[in-house]
Amino acid sequence: MRFLCVLLLIAGAAIGIFYPWAMSNFSGHAIGTYRVYEGGRFRPVTVQLAASDAPVRVLVDLTARAERVAGQQRTVLTLTAANGGRTALTSALSFNHTDNPRQASPQLPDKIFRDGAGVIDRVTPGSYVFTVGPGDADGIDMRAVDLILRAGTGSIDERAQPAGYTLMGVGLAGLALSLVFGRRGDGHPQNPNSQPPPRWGRNGSPRT
């Protein structure tokens, strides 16, 4: 029972947590990384995209001197992508899901927080202008912001996370129940009939 519950927990974590993370960060191939903020200034970047790059996943890395940057659902950064005067993507980045930021350098206290800005499903060949700007969140000591583009990324099945969390919940509930009932079973008095009968005579139990 406990082994099955542990398997459910592992399967749920793989489907609900690892699978979306892997698809967002490693599927497809990298187009490039572009610095859009440094020295207190934001600047737009222009990237040439081909139709074969679709779908293009847009990620943003924020380097800041902080343990957490998300706060009260406020927007930390905004992003727009435009092609030929038409908006291809808009996003408000809050970095709410970045629980384990990367260390920028062992010698520095800065942390790198990543958030997904979305996916450009259909690419019109040509120049795309990506503009990143500040949101309404205050008090964030930003050091740098990088734009990461990945081509040919797989789409994440929207049913994966709910299914994964459900499996994790079932596994946790089953594990808790097995522990509770296991403890109760350990506290039951031992059945005297389960003991072998006493042996009389030589090398046996003494008579009382």
Q: What is the pLDDT of residues 36-87, one digit of tens each?
A: 999 999 999 999 999 999 999 999 999 998 888 865 568 999 999 999 999 9
pLDDT at 107 over 60: yes
The predicted structure's pLDDT at residue 106? 83
Q: What is the pLDDT of residues 143-162, one digit of tens each?
A: 999 999 999 765 555 676 67
Question: Are the C-beta atoms of residues 20 and 53 closer than 8 Å to each other?
Answer: no
Class of domain 27-151: mainly beta
For every residue of the chain, DSSP letters joined together read -HHHHHHHHHHHHIIIIIHHHHHHHHSSEEEEEEEEEETTEE--EEEEE-GGG-SEEEEEEEEESSS----TT--SEEEEEEETTEEEEEEEE--TT-SSPEES-TT---EEEEEEEEEE-S--SEEEEEEEEE-S-----EEEEEEEEEESPPPPPTTHHHHHHHHHHHHHHHHHHHHHHHHHHHTSPPPGGGSPPPPPSTTSPPP-
Q: What is the pLDDT of residues 10-22, one digit of tens each?
A: 876 666 665 565 5
Burial of 80 (0-12, 13-18, 19+ CB in 10 A): middle
The overall average pLDDT reported for the chain is 81
The pairing of strands 111-120 and 41-42 is unpaired
Domain boundaries, given as residue ranges, for the chain: 27-151
Residue keyed to tokens 């800065």: 110
The predicted structure's pLDDT at residue 11? 77
The predicted structure's pLDDT at residue 24? 56
The predicted structure's pLDDT at residue 47? 98
pLDDT at 92 over 70: yes
**Could you tell me the pTM of the whole model?**
0.64
* Spatial distance between the Cα atoms of 155 and 158, rounded to a whole number of angstroms: 9
